[in-house]
Chains A and B, each alone.
Chain A
Amino acid sequence: MYNTERRPSMAERRPSIIASSAQYSSSSLVVPHLAGIEDPLPDTTPDKVDVLIAGTGMVESVLAAALAWQGSSVLHIDQNDYYGDTSATLTVDQLKRWVSQINETMLPCYSNAKLYVSNAIGNDNRKYISRDFGIDLSPKFLFAKSDLLSILVKSRVHQYLEFQSLSTFHTYENDSFEKLTNTKQEIFTNQNLPLMTKRNLMRFIKFVLDWEKHPQIWEPYATKSITEFLIEKFNLEPAQVNELIFSIGLCYTADTKVPHALQRIRRYLISFDVYGPFPVLYSKFGGPGELSQGFCRSAAVAGATYKLNEKLQSFDPTTKVATFTDGSKVMVSEKVIMSPTQAPRSHKHVPKQNFEIHRLTCVVEKSCSEWFTNNESGAVIVFPPGSLKSGNKRVVQALILGSGSECCPSGTCIWYLSTTEQGDRAEMDLDAALEAMEISIIRESSTDIVNDEDIVQITDNGQTVVNSVKLGQSFREYYPREPVQHLLKLYYTQHTSTPPFDIVAPSLFENETTIRANKLNKFTAEAGDNGVMYTAMPSTEISYDEVVTAAKLLYEKIVGSDDDFFDVDFEDEEEMMSNPPPAKYENAIIDDEDADHDMDADSSEFVGEMEI
């Protein structure tokens, strides 16, 4: 059953790590590049562990690493022959198997999977081969200032990964993509913004950076919608309101409550200029799939045992013995933690997954570089409510990754679309967004139009005139002539117990886990999952923000407190010297409070005050 078809692992891709860690021998002592998980099928499993974790998704992997470094003995298993579970990055062949598992209803929490793969992808002399592609099941990006990023650095898991910047956020409006105006520089230099709008926008951006300190401004609006707040209190125009709520705040609806939305808008703005002029990063070679693998490696270094192709048959909370489908057993002294996707066949306690996330992943045969900023290979496109032909009530978010991300071959691009819309409407919205993207990329990448003599005419006095009627026709005619080639198209619905948006409210996980913990004492006959604590399925959140909160709460449930969550202290200061942390860029939005100068001083001596 173990399938060898896979993407190259981190270590195979980057032999440079070995070279560099040999050079700085100290760091190789701390985080060996490959310890542990290169043998995912060990001959023997331990007799006794503190914690058994099933599923190598993002949250479970972070949890495994945190527990392992804290000193717990961890057995981390996955029923699949690859790492990542709900966060996996899959090749096309792996994706085919995954889809058929869903459709054979062998995989809970997913439904309605439809996959189209073009003839151009195959393993026998086709244009592309299956493992040229790394498709994320729950694509995400990382804010430059976020919990997960600090943990990546602290745990040194970042050494296994490569990150790339993403600075382009487009908002879809009136059938076109508008680029964001969100930095002081852009606001200052944008010729199209009226002066008062510049002022209002800057005023809001400054306010939101420490909004909690100014209750007099937002409290009167605490239960109102962010839209109302931005229009009434800050006199912002609809275009800016949409940008702030949907692209910067990444909210799903216009009636998001003020504090929620402010929190999310702030998250974006404080991430800007931390490592450079961009708010978010994504990991090369695959998103959450890579990150979970990184954390698994870290856990293995700290002593956790890994076993793929392993599935729980049942757990007996009285004897504390976990039995696997291959007949092996392990004694678990503390807890069994499990992703709902890994539940034993005889499960009875998997929490209700009440919310749907609809996803459409499309690989197109176009580079889509028109959407990226120079030297980047990723972009985010947001379709606000009402902007699509389908009359969408909720936002459609799209994460675009080009070949520079090493997730797809040159000349192709992956479009990840998702919506929190429920039911049948969702697929209509996703289709409408896909169509809008196709039209836009054809329009933007077509160079033929300017060269078409019928459209661009040069008059007698040398002026260039564009025939707009013909130009419009040309767009319409152009579209069917060369449609965007789909190499792969995948629809699926993922179910989750996390309502859209609740990543910032830890009470959610608290309640969930408390309820589950209470259930521990009610054992159900013939249930294989008595006493098992289930993790939450990935939520709609497009950033990694939920991950640390969820892992921390589970950690607290097991250890008793989260005080020593990743309290790792690698005894190695020399290494810091040879690998200094990235330089801090100056934040162009927050002013340093320069000492005020005396305005009364004779100003013809302006020079003196500014000099050294």
Chain B
Amino acid sequence: MHGIKRKKWTRELINQKKIHDRERINHYRNLVDKALLARDSNVYDLDSLKQTADILQLNPELNVMWNYRRDIILHIGDSFSEEHWNRELIFIMTQLKRFPKVYWIWDHRIWTLNNHPGSSLKLWKAELDIVNKLLELDSRNYHGWHYRRIVIVKIQSHSSENMSKEELDYVTLKINQNISNFSAWHQRVQVILSLIEGNEIDEKKQFFENEVSYITNAMFTDAEDQSVWFYLKWFIKSDVVKESLGQKSYLKMLESLKKNIIAINDDDIAFSGKGNKRCLNTLINIENIQKKFNPSLELHTKEYLQILIEVDPLRKNRYVHLLSNL
């Protein structure tokens, strides 16, 4: 491993470690026992708050301590000053830096912000900066993206501004940086739905036509990347897209996507002699949709499935099953 020193685990060292670990475990158990006893005796004061912090620093996964912590804060009531609340946010942030993927910490942050006596809009806007920073460091942390959605909803509800347009720009930026960002593509779906719902797009048809070029561009840039294909699958089946484009343009869009996907697939065959499983699966989907509008359309499903059995052996039985259902 890089940067990690090799250690020779002699019997002596193992014994030392065991002794050391035993001490730590006893220490932790004592703390927890004491805290639980205090909780059961309805002790709600700053001392017990400090105890929960000590424990949560050792083990942030112990949700019962977060619950107890919240009870303590609520019981302390008004004497839990704004300064206390701010310190609580700092405590949570240091925890998040150490454990960015622990659900309970994120939960507790939301609870704290909801109960903080300060200006909600100001607090949540600060959270947006924090989450931007976090996604800069790890653009695919789904906790970050989930939290981002909550922050946006909060800001919107406190300010009555619709942030979907800015959010679409943000998502586009993140996808441009890395088109394999599944979370960003997912967020794109959410944002587009919210834009449509809020009637925020003037030229819907133009908007979705641009979206088709965006997808096509992504498909050509990396046809192996599944997030693009997932987004495409949502896109071609989405009622919002269908209605916004109108039937004629919608069918034209399907045909043009189909042509490009066939081109990619043919190119793969020319290069490696093998068809592309993502192209073939998507072609089956597109033809199935087209069939609904044009019952006389001749389907290639059987042919595609037979190739898929060859090129995607992991899912062979599924394709065999689908073939038998035709």
Enumerate chain A interface residues (CB-CB to B < 8 A): 153, 184-185, 187-189, 195-196, 198-199, 202-203, 206, 569, 573, 576, 581, 583, 586, 588, 591-592, 594, 596-597, 599-600, 603-604, 606-607, 609-612
B residues near A573, Cβ cutoff 8 Å: 5
Given contacts A188-B176, A591-B180, A606-B234, contact A581 B186 (CB under 8 A): no
Q: Tell whether B140 is near chain A: CB-to-CB under 8 Å.
A: yes
Which single residue of chain A is at the shortest CB-CB distance from B232?
A603
Q: Which 3 A-B pairs have the closest CB atoms?
A: A610-B186, A195-B220, A606-B234
Q: Tell whether B3 is near chain A: CB-to-CB under 8 Å.
A: yes
Q: How many residues of B contact A (CB 8 A)?
A: 47
CA separation between A42 and B249, bound complex, in Å? 85
Nearest-neighbour CB distance to chain A for B12, whole angstroms, equals: 17
Pull 17 A–B residue pairs with CB atoms less than 8 Å apart, ordered by A.
Answer: A185-B178, A187-B221, A188-B179, A188-B221, A195-B260, A196-B263, A198-B221, A576-B3, A591-B222, A592-B180, A594-B227, A596-B226, A596-B314, A606-B186, A606-B233, A607-B186, A609-B230
Q: Are B237 and A195 in contact (CB under 8 A)?
A: no
A residues near B190, Cβ cutoff 8 Å: 607
A residues near B224, Cβ cutoff 8 Å: 206, 591
Q: Are A199 and B223 in contact (CB under 8 A)?
A: yes
A residues near B310, Cβ cutoff 8 Å: none
CA separation between A606 and B5, bound complex, in Å? 44
| Additional 4 contacts, C-beta under 8 A, given A188-B218, A611-B142 | A184-B222, A198-B220, A603-B285, A612-B142
Enumerate chain B interface residues (CB-CB to A < 8 A): 2-3, 5-6, 137-140, 142-143, 146, 176-180, 182-183, 185-186, 189-190, 216-218, 220-227, 230, 233-234, 237, 260, 263-264, 267, 271, 281, 285, 314, 318, 322
A residues near B185, Cβ cutoff 8 Å: 610
CA separation between A206 and B225, bound complex, in Å? 12
B residues near A597, Cβ cutoff 8 Å: 226, 230
Choice from A583, A596, A612 contacting B143 with Cβ under 8 Å: A612
Nearest-neighbour CB distance to chain A for B147, whole angstroms, equals: 11
Q: Are B221 and A588 in contact (CB under 8 A)?
A: no
Nearest-neighbour CB distance to chain B for A604, whole angstroms, equals: 6
Given contacts A185-B178, A597-B226, contact A607 B218 (CB under 8 A): no
A residues near B217, Cβ cutoff 8 Å: 188, 195, 198
Q: Are A202 and B222 in contact (CB under 8 A)?
A: yes
Given contacts A603-B233, A606-B230, A607-B186, contact A588 B220 (CB under 8 A): no
Q: Are A604 and B237 in contact (CB under 8 A)?
A: yes
- Among the interface residues A187, A189, A607, which one has the most CB atoms of the partner chain B within 10 A? A189
- Among the interface residues B3, B143, B223, B281, which one has the most CB atoms of the partner chain A within 10 A? B3
Q: Are A607 and B220 in contact (CB under 8 A)?
A: no
CA separation between A197 and B267, bound complex, in Å? 12
Nearest-neighbour CB distance to chain A for B228, whole angstroms, equals: 10
CA separation between A604 and B238, bound complex, in Å? 7
A residues near B179, Cβ cutoff 8 Å: 184, 188
CA separation between A610 and B216, bound complex, in Å? 21
A residues near B267, Cβ cutoff 8 Å: 196, 199
Q: Are B178 and A588 in contact (CB under 8 A)?
A: yes
Which single residue of chain B is at the shortest CB-CB distance from A199?
B220
A residues near B233, Cβ cutoff 8 Å: 599, 603, 606
Q: Are B140 and A586 in contact (CB under 8 A)?
A: yes
CA separation between A6 and B142, bound complex, in Å? 54
CA separation between A604 and B233, bound complex, in Å? 9
A residues near B264, Cβ cutoff 8 Å: 199
CA separation between A603 and B232, bound complex, in Å? 10
CA separation between A184 and B181, bound complex, in Å? 12
CA separation between A597 and B6, bound complex, in Å? 38
- Among the interface residues A569, A581, A588, which one has the most CB atoms of the partner chain B within 10 A? A588
Choice from A203, A569, A591 contacting B271 with Cβ under 8 Å: A203
- Among the interface residues B179, B216, B225, which one has the most CB atoms of the partner chain A within 10 A? B179
Q: Are B189 and A199 in contact (CB under 8 A)?
A: no
Given contacts A196-B220, A612-B142, contact A599 B225 (CB under 8 A): no
Which single residue of chain A is at the shortest CB-CB distance from B233?
A603
B residues near A583, Cβ cutoff 8 Å: 137
